[in-house]
Amino acid sequence: MNADVLEIKTEQLLKTKKRSQLFDVWLRLKKSKAAIAGLLLIGIFIFMAILAPVLVSYEDDALKMNVRVRLQTPGSDHWFGTDELGRDIFARIVYGTRISLFVGIISVSIALTLGGTLGAIAGYYGGKIDNIIMRFLDVLLAVPAVLLAITIVAALGASMLNLMIAVGVSNIPGFARVVRAAVLSVKDQEFIEAAKAIGAKDHTIILRHVLPNSMAPIIVFATLKVATAIMATASLSFLGLGIQPPTPEWGSMLAGGRSYIRDHMYIVLYPGMAIVLTVLSLNLIGDGLRDALDPKLK
Amino acid sequence: MYHFLIKFIAVIKYEQIGGTVLKYIIRRLLLLLPVMLGVIFLVFFIISLTPGNVASMILGDGATDERIVELREEMGLNDPLIIQYGRYMGSLLRGDMGVSYADGRSVAGEIGQRFPNTFKLTITAIILSVLISIPIGVISATKQYSIFDNLGMILALIGISMPSFWIGLILIIAFSLNLGWFPSGGMSGVMSLILPAFTLAIASTASITRTTRSSMLEVIRQDYINTAKAKGVSKNKVITKHALRNALIPAITVIGLEFGVLLGGAVLTETVFSWPGIGRLMVQSIQRKDTPMVLGCIIVFTLSFSIVNLLIDILYAYLDPRIKENYK
């Protein structure tokens, strides 16, 4: 049997194993009421993000200022009331969902790609390379994540792209550590040795054999980190260092409504609730996934 | 033989005065140095990416091009970054962090004046968190799946999902604007500390509770706990003396990590409550593009975080003899 055939066969074997594993995970996840609640909740937000243009009009409801209807209390015309410039708060929250989910997912992807690559290299090669990468990460880890993100945005300037870079970079060390640990846990197993023996290249081994088999902790970590990233996005925007007005973003909505809380608390109530519910749903899913993927931990 | 004996006694004495712990502390301190140098370089590098001409900003609109070029030369802004970094480190070691671009005040002086306020806020918050979270975590673990446990865990999960600046706003609406119990901002005595400290404490309380519970759950399933129970040790004593001590080790690590989160949260909490600490100073300095001040704030934040983690590691080595063992 030549090497190619062997590799294809191993591949098929791994695939069938993976699929049944995935099904097992779903069966376990389904048992957790909390995780299902989280999935439903995030489902509603994703639905809102996708159907935003059907639900409300971006130009007329979320952006256009209308001083005559400013600071209206919640009612049938404006479900969540209107803000200090007469814009519909519900419409702004709906469009804010798009931004929060987008920025959250993209910045975690940046962190996962960069941090994951560093972690995989460090874990796979070990020795000197591992040492150099880990010392570099120690430096990044020494700065609290939110402060690192604030510093990066402060230097680059406030914009959506810079915000995603800042939140992404501040999450690199976390992902590198998780991926490194995951790689270390499978690196010495027999199927990796088998792949090496048939002459597979290092990057093939890492991408096709090591990573797919060490996905569980990475998926859990990524889910929880999307939650943190959404929180960081709102925090930076609240400080005026993230998404800039008039773009509807939950954090900057809170910053804008701050001066009116004495008589119009709904201005800060609903955007805050949106943040809490999104972050909560992701935390519920993350916790559920952790239990489902690693039954030992329960 | 005689020499051997002396050496033997010396070794024992060295061990008795906590030589391994001392060695451990020194090692950790030595490890901290390159990290701090690296951090300051990293932050210095990031800040240097700031677009815009500092010299023309300082001189204002009416400045001539000549004067701008002159000032850039004076400030050494034309030198390579590594030279600028070396110069900054040189003055930093003498306690000089430069002067503010905005008003010419000494950065170190301004930070020194505000640091105690941030310290007061974060220390109160961490003490509050520990006092609330450890008992709740322990009770939740000993009564797993009870109403108390379920409710506690739901609240903890909501706690880690709430942004601190929003909690701050809600607390201001409830306790300051409506009930009038506390001032809504500023720093004026103990009353003004309560709302910001609570705001800052909520997220850490939630995550320390979760960690205490899960490590407690792990510990109470160990054999030695069963042994202690079998010996007839009372239930309370098993929990407090045998289980908690071991369960605290992961909790303490989380307390150290949470301190970093607290420092980040301080930036937001101080902004919401107009608290005159370095978090608010940093945000104001960013808005004024006052780079030396921003740099100073972030260095002080990072240094505090590193020192706290060092203290936590030392505490850790005292609590868990296995860690000391690694450094023998």
Mean pLDDT by 10 residues, chain A (298 residues): 66 64 80 89 92 80 76 77 81 90 95 94 91 90 90 89 94 92 86 87 85 84 93 92 88 87 85 94 91 63
How high is the pLDDT of residue B325?
Answer: 63
Per-residue model confidence (pLDDT) at position B2: 57
pLDDT at B84 over 90: no
Question: Hey, are the CB atoms on A280 and B158 less than 8 Å from each other?
Answer: yes
Domain hosting B138: range is 2-45+110-327
Distances (CA, A) of B278 to B41, B172, B298: 21, 21, 9
Residue B74 falls within a domain, yes or no?
Answer: no
**How many separate domains does chain B show?**
1
User: Which of B46, B210, B271, B288 is most worth mutating to test chain A (most A CB atoms within 10 A of its CB)?
Assistant: B46
The model's confidence at residue B116, banded by pLDDT at 50, 70 and 90, is: very high
Highest mean pLDDT among A16-30, B202-216, B223-237: B202-216
What six digits make up the tokens of B48?
A: 């240097």
pLDDT tens sequence across B32-78: 888 888 988 998 888 888 776 677 777 777 777 787 787 777 777 77
Of A140, A238, A269, the CB nearest to B165: A238
Min Cα distance A175 → chain B (Å) is 16
Question: To the nearest whole angstrom, how far is the Cα of A210 from the nearest Cα of chain B?
Answer: 29
Whether residue B265 and residue A146 make contact (CB cut-off 8 A), yes or no, is yes
Q: Are A231 and B260 in contact (CB under 8 A)?
A: no
Q: Please tell me the distance from the alpha carbon of residue A66 to that of residue A88, in angstroms, as a whole number.
A: 10
In chain A, what residues touch B282 (CB-CB under 8 Å)? Answer: 150
Helix axes B107-142, B291-319, angle to 10 degrees: 40
Domain ranges in chain A?
51-284
Tell me the CATH number at B135: 1.10.3720.10
Q: How far is CA A231 from the centre of its chain?
A: 10
Q: How many residues does chain A have?
A: 298
Is B311 inside any structural domain? yes
Residue in chain A closest to B306 (alpha carbons) equals A142
Each residue of A19-76: pLDDT tens digit? 667 787 788 888 888 889 999 999 999 999 998 888 887 777 777 777 777 777 787 7
Q: Minimum mean pLDDT among A69-73, A172-176, B137-141, B254-258: which range?
A: A69-73
pLDDT at A205: 87
Give residue A138's pLDDT: 87
Assembly ipTM: 0.83
- Please tell me the distance from the alpha carbon of residue A47 to that of residue B315, in angstroms, as a whole number: 49
Examine the pLDDT at B199 and tell me if it is beyond 90: yes
- State the DSSP code for B241: I
Three-state DSSP string of A114-129: HHHHHHHHHHHHCHHH
Residue in A146, A261, A279 nearest the CB of B161: A279
Q: Coil, strand, or helix at residue B99?
A: strand
Closest among A3, A23, A12, A24 to A208, alpha carbons compared: A12
* Segment 232-251 of chain A within 8 Å of chain B by CB: 234-235, 238-241, 251
CB proximity A131 to B under 8 Å: no
Reported confidence tier of residue B254, pLDDT bands at 50, 70, 90: confident
Of B51, B165, B306, the CB nearest to A254: B165
CATH 3.50.50.60 correct for A51-284: no
B97 lies in a domain?
no
A74 Cβ contact list (under 8 Å, min separation 6)? A80, A81, A266
Per the CB < 8 A criterion, the answer to whether B259 and B122 are in contact is yes
**Considering the entire predicted model, what is its pTM?**
0.86
Touching A: B residues 41-60, CB under 8 Å: 42-43, 46-51
Query: Identity (one letter) of the amino acid at A218?
Result: I
